[in-house]
Structure 1
């Protein structure tokens, strides 16, 4: 159950230090409101993936607090963090992460089965029709194009009706036209289904689809750009690379 009035994701002064003293995040604070599409961009090594992993409960911060859907996850053990992820978080990855031996519909409903839940047939039908896979449900991932596989992964991320979906470079493995189609789908899902989406990307054009772009450098948020443009973000990233 969602917590009424709670933001989808909140980070309070989150720091992550890896062995050897590498500081990947340095007191990062942010709030992602519900029904928002937020992109996280920055130079290589800026801390983008670490930010997503900590925000999604895949990793534990060295210090600071993380809330997902109003639930503080930083102090939970792995069993309870896994439970929170299953109930409240969806994931879309660059590599799709579909199970080759399962059909499309089995892949989409896998998070529900892992959580011991029965699929909502009406919601499942809505999802597969919206992502354009109604005629592919019995296929295996290897029988699909890259774009179709990513669409299946998007449906899988949404099937549990999560509070937030985290997308890590969701179009990096796709050709330009297919990438644009997938980005358009993600943008539409925010509006149509009231989904909250946090996308990590190196691509300024992809980030320009978001409502807000957070620019990371050296583990800190150095800029927050509302209604970002590809040209503006590309210039901002170029300036950071030159510093």
Structure 2
């Protein structure tokens, strides 16, 4: 990762999936203004597993929301491949998120009335796209969900549900997956399985993942960890260790 147009939705070039250039986000309530992101620039290359960490209120969740097109910056440019998100209306941003971006959340966000298979294919069916059964089968096999496709979420463990959410996020072959505290609701063993899976997806399938986490052990599975404080990027650590990240967070006043 390095710190430092048209309305057409185009594929991401080989080198860059996400690019932010001098992005600022200010939240205003009456006369009170809070700067959540302060002149942030970064690029996320394809095939990267990037962890984003920082104390509470550091701007990490805002960074994810803006990079994913879920929120708009007050100023600056956000690119997904060659597409400037600022050039798209909300309908076009929705199409881009649906077709190019996958999401994994702490709470899984599975529909309890649907089976595993129905949950996985729901976004594709809502988009009017036929699921690539060969690709989904490969993902199901890789994630150890074979034999569970007819179950419902309540019949599965938290770790299994999160793996379903990961397969759902990958079903459309997105350019990038954003994971927001994906292991926050899991026990240590299930967390380890999910994190190993995420790293394998990057290393073996060439997927790009940006993960927001408060957990140094989780962030240590990434290629790089981006550290935020007061809405700015204050450090980027390559091949991080949990001890190194815990120390860096401690120096900033907590998690």
Alignment TM class, shorter chain as reference: over 0.9
Q: Which residue of 1 aligns with 2:18?
A: 9
| Whole-angstrom CA distance in 2 between matches of 1:47 and 1:3 | 25
| Whole-angstrom CA distance in 2 between matches of 1:78 and 1:239 | 40
| Whole-angstrom CA distance in 2 between matches of 1:122 and 1:75 | 35
Q: Which residue of 2 aligns with 1:57?
A: 69
2:204 is equivalent to residue 192 of structure 1: yes
1:6 shift after superposition: 5.0
2:101 corresponds, among 89, 93, 111, to 89
The alignment of Structure 1 onto Structure 2 pairs a total of residues equal to 242
Maintained 8 Å contact 1:6/1:70:
no
2:167 corresponds, among 155, 172, 177, to 155
1:139 corresponds, among 151, 156, 173, to 151
Spell out the pairing of 1:194-209 with structure 2 (5 A cutoff).
Answer: 194-209=206-221
1:4 shift after superposition: 3.4
Structure 1 gap ranges (5+): none
Q: Which residue of 1 aligns with 2:136?
A: 124
Maintained 8 Å contact 1:109/1:119:
yes
Maintained 8 Å contact 1:131/1:151:
yes
Maintained 8 Å contact 1:15/1:28:
yes
| Whole-angstrom CA distance in 1 between matches of 2:140 and 2:81 | 25
Q: Which residue of 2 aligns with 1:227?
A: 239
**Residue aligned with 1:39, SS:** strand
| Whole-angstrom CA distance in 2 between matches of 1:215 and 1:103 | 38
Q: Which residue of 2 aligns with 1:25?
A: 37
Scaled by the length of structure 1, the TM-score of the pair is: 0.97
Per-residue displacement from partner, 1:173-202 (whole Å, max 9, x unpaired)? 000111011000101110111100000000
Q: Which residue of 2 aligns with 1:44?
A: 56
Q: CA RMSD in A?
A: 1.0
